[in-house]
Chain A
Amino acid sequence: MAIEVSGLRKSYGELEAVRGISFAVRRGEVFGLLGPNGAGKTTTVEILEGYRERTAGEVAVLGFDPARRERALRERVGIVLQSSGFYPRATVREAVEHFGAAYPHPREAEETIALVGLQGREDTRAGQLSGGQHRRLDLALALVGDPELIFLDEPTTGFDPAARRAAWDVIRSLRGLGKTVLLTTHYLDEAQALSDRVAIVKDGLIVAEGPPSELSARPRSYRVSYQQNGSRVELETEDPTELLHRLTGEALARGERLEGLSVSRPTLEDVYLELTAEEESEEPAT
């Protein structure tokens, strides 16, 4: 396991931001943490990154306790924070080379720059990069140490659609290199497109966890629908085999056809909205 979290809690005075979270991330997996603002995602990730101390629970990152802030762990982890700047007058190449020096086996600067798609911008100063290019520099600085585990906190917020697709390609290529990625996002399509598994966090708790395609809010997660007498009938079931057998059997017995018959699973978006809908407006912002 790359990350193991059990019973994690974090309180800020009276407010309990994380109220007992447990999950595990396998090596080589892209794991998505989803949830509305203020749900406790960033607090959880910052504890794993070693920025914050937990109030209770057990945490292991590559076998280390991140709260001890050992250099040996930081040599094997890359972090892309939600927002972080750089010396505005350093060029892309200087920044990548400077950060690479702190790692025992850094990736070549040129290779790192190519990996994030900043070729041709090597001599551009950080302060002159566009928002999307700066985010790629963030990614380059997290990857230059050739880490085994990469934390990506909302890596594409503020990107235009083309830049998002490009960033997705980079993240997919990380999985191709066998890296483990913990991705925080509030874009559902992003989680669905990139993650092997996701966990939905709400009010400091995980309310659902699994591969995006199998995730469901409730056990009755198949939706069967068809047209009858001009109106659409929708049924939900745990066991579509049995339901379809009964429906089609009855229809055949009546000599009718089930027009527009479909069986579907709720999308990640349906599940997410159902799980996080109520009270969302009262969530405190992070």
Chain B
Amino acid sequence: MSTAALTWRQFRFERKMFWRNPSAAFFNFTLPFLFLIMIASVFGADRKELDILIPGIAGMSVLGTTFTALSYTFVFNREQGILKRIRGTPMPPIAYFGGVIASAVVNAIVQVALIVVIGHVFYDVSWPHDYLALIVFVVLGVIAFGSLGIAFAHLIPNFDAAAAYVNAVFLPVIFISGVFYSTKSLPEVFKVIAVALPLKHVIDGLHGAIVSHQGLGDHLTALAVVAGWAVAGLFLTVRFFRWD
């Protein structure tokens, strides 16, 4: 069987396994919406706030479905010996990684799409103005966060510790990157950190594509930062990957 066919097989296998864990699948898909609905209703979000919240939640979803999910997956599969077992078979590593990552990408795309639809239908946020920019920022974000998640798994000693390690990154990053509110109101030190990290730039790109009529040309710096993190993530993943 060709590498492409094996990648496809692995992808379908990952999808099947994802839906076999219904409670995890449920929370994976509903958590961003819970955030969205709670914040929108608790703070009685006005038009301006919703225009920040919708791209913000979409960016958080990309982070959650790739960085968080792949960190957990790789720590679990390493601890269980699944990675080592696969390494002993003729399965090309690229087919295995391809299938696992493609599955995470599907979750990211489905979530972003659902958030855009819910934003439009329930909160009257406009349809995206620039689909190309939307797709480019989602794809670049997926590559950056996904590879950083796999690389981060290297630092996590075991599955029991995974939630603590992942949340120690995930929670501070979503709070300083403008998921729930504009970063303009943040203290200077957090702004500096947020600008160095990729999530704020993904959210800015999504904001431009969905809300503010800005295309890729208006977000070249953001593109460069996210692309830089994607390259760094891929390098760290390849350099430090542990099979066992």
Q: Which of B1, B6, B9, B81 is A84 in contact with, Cβ under 8 Å?
A: B81
Inter-subunit contact B90/A103 (CB<8 Å): yes
What A residues does B6 contact at CB under 8 A?
101-102
- When the two chains form the complex, which single residue of B21, B90, B244 contacts A71, counting CB atoms closer than 8 Å? B90
> B185: which A residues are within 8 A, CB to CB?
none
Which listed residue (A83, A101, A104) contacts B81, Cβ 8 A?
Answer: A83
Q: How far, in Å, is A245 (CB) from chain B's closest CB?
A: 56
CA distance in complex: A94, B81 (Å): 18
Inter-chain contact B89/A102, CB cutoff 8 Å: yes
Once the chains are docked, how many angstroms separate the CA of A102 from the CA of B92?
8
- Judge whether A98 is part of the interface by a CB distance below 8 angstroms: yes
Docked complex: A9-51 residues within 8 A CB-CB of B: 49-51
Shortest distance between the CB of B100 and any CB in chain A (Å): 11
A276 to B49, CA, bound (A): 74
Q: Is the CB of B88 within 8 A of A51?
A: yes
B-contacting 9-mer, from A85-93, A171-179, A213-221? A85-93
**What CA separation (Å) do A81 and B87 show in the bound complex?**
11
B20 at the interface (CB under 8 A from A): yes
Closest 5 CB pairs of A and B: A84-B81, A85-B80, A89-B20, A79-B88, A102-B91
Beyond A85-B80, A102-B6, 6 additional pairs, beta carbon < 8 A: A51-B244, A81-B81, A84-B80, A84-B84, A89-B20, A102-B91
User: B85, A101: Cβ atoms under 8 Å?
Assistant: no
- For A95, the closest partner residue in chain B by CB is B13
Report if B82 contacts A (CB, 8 A).
Answer: yes
Question: A94 to B88, alpha carbons, bound, how many Å?
Answer: 19
**How many B residues, CB 8 Å from partner?**
21
Residues in A with CB closer than 8 Å to B91 are: 99, 102
Residues of A within 8 A of B16 (CB): 90, 94
Q: Is B4 an interface residue (CB 8 A)?
A: no
Could you list which residues of chain A lie within 8 angstroms of chain B, going by C-beta atoms? 49-51, 71, 74-75, 77, 79, 81, 83-87, 89-90, 94, 98-99, 101-104, 141, 145
How far is A208 from B49 in the complex, measured between Cα atoms in Å?
77
Q: List 15 A-B contacts (CB under 8 A).
A: A50-B88, A51-B84, A51-B87, A51-B244, A71-B92, A79-B88, A81-B84, A86-B82, A87-B82, A89-B20, A99-B89, A101-B6, A102-B89, A104-B90, A145-B90
Chain A residues with CB under 8 A of B87: 51
B17 at the interface (CB under 8 A from A): yes
Q: Hey, which chain B residues are within 8 Å of A145, CB to CB?
A: 89-90
Name B95's closest neighbour in chain A (CB-CB). A102
Give every chain A residue within 8 A of B17 (Cβ-Cβ).
87, 89-90
Q: How far is the CA of A4 from the CA of B223 in the complex (A)?
A: 54
Across the interface, B21 reaches (CB within 8 A) one of A49, A89, A101, namely A89
Chain B contacts for A103, CB-based, 8 A = 89-90
Residues of B within 8 A of A81 (CB): 81, 84-85, 88
Please measure, in the bound complex, the distance between the C-alpha atom of A206 and the C-alpha atom of B13, giving whole angstroms: 44
A101 touches B82 (CB 8 A): no
* Contact across chains for B1 and A86 when beta carbons are under 8 A apart: no
